Amino acid sequence: MFRRSVGQLFKRTYTQTKFVTNAPRRRWIPYTVFGVSFFSGWLLTQHMTYTDLVAYWRYDKLPSDSEEVNKYKLNLTNRLMNLDVVKGLEAKGYHEVFPVQYKENSSSVANSNKDTTEGKKLISDTLSVPGAIAIPPKFYYDPKTKETIGIYHLGMKLTGYPFLIHGGILATVIEDQMRESVKLIKNKVPKGIKDITVSYKLPTLANQFVVVRTTKVEEFGNNIKLSIEMLDQTGERKLVSARGTFST
């Protein structure tokens, strides 16, 4: 009796264990998840690149009509004026200057006073769109030290890699700053650039302001040599340094 009861109990337990062990596995689930994910990713990349996705997450939404463009520019201008660097410039003896090519009515100025170099036209015309250099840079000058400071906003359209401004754009901005410095120091448009050397120190993030300033000015005959450094919008981190010589 006892042996029969033990045997029946063992048989039931073994049967239950065997039933659980042989439960069907749903192996199709991971394959289905992988297939759906792969197809969704492939479909998305047909319409949006990785850069587009990063830009959508990281950068400001660009305007699509004239009213939004005005609001976009106004917002950037407010951001610029609230930078700690800008607030401290006048206290340090700098005066804001307004280059002719960045004025709205610059077409009324005599052509002889204009700087029509390719780099200048690129900054003030071609790149003057939302997502690039949407608002004119601000320039400040200290007549005692002959130091010039330019503050530019570099948007998402100027990237070479996601988040990072293209090196060619940075060189163009530095050359633009150098030309403004020469015009303020010599009170005339430089005839041409003789040489320029650019050294990239750190990556420059897009959708931020950069501070570009002269650190040394050397005049010899009809030539002037400038040393320049580009800082982030805090004015504390050096991004690029450069030297250039102009004939006047």
Are the C-beta atoms of 148 and 141 separated by less than 8 Å? yes
Q: Is the pLDDT of residue 91 over 50?
A: yes
* CATH superfamily of the domain spanning 63-247: Hotdog Thioesterase (3.10.129.10)
Question: Which stretch of 22-26, 39-43, 205-209, 225-229 has the lowest confidence by average pLDDT?
Answer: 22-26
Question: Which stretch of 107-121, 154-168, 201-215 has the lowest confidence by average pLDDT?
Answer: 107-121
From CA 192, how far away is CA 245, in angstroms rounded?
9
pLDDT for position 248:
84
Better-predicted residue by pLDDT, 73 or 26: 73
Are the C-beta atoms of 152 and 239 separated by less than 8 Å? no
From CA 106, how far away is CA 91, in angstroms rounded?
29
CA angle 69, 115, 171 (to 5 degrees): 70
pLDDT for position 105:
42
Q: Where are the domains of the chain?
A: 2-44, 63-247
Strands (E), 1-146: 95-97, 138-142
Question: Which stretch of 43-52, 119-128, 164-173, 223-232 has the lowest confidence by average pLDDT?
Answer: 43-52
CB atoms within 10 A of CB 118: 10
pLDDT for position 12:
53
Structure token digits, residue 110? 């005599």
Q: Is the pLDDT of residue 50 over 60?
A: no
From CA 79, how far away is CA 208, in angstroms rounded?
10
pLDDT for position 167:
94
Q: Is the pLDDT of residue 168 over 60?
A: yes
Cut 0.75: pTM above it? no
Residue 38 — φ and ψ, nearest 5°?
A: -65, -45
Find the mean pLDDT for residues 6-20.
50
Confidence of residue 10 (pLDDT cuts 50, 70, 90): very low
pLDDT for position 25:
60
177-223 pLDDT per residue, tens: 999 999 999 888 888 889 999 999 999 999 999 999 999 999 988 89
Structure token digits, residue 43? 């479909």
Better-predicted residue by pLDDT, 102 or 121: 121
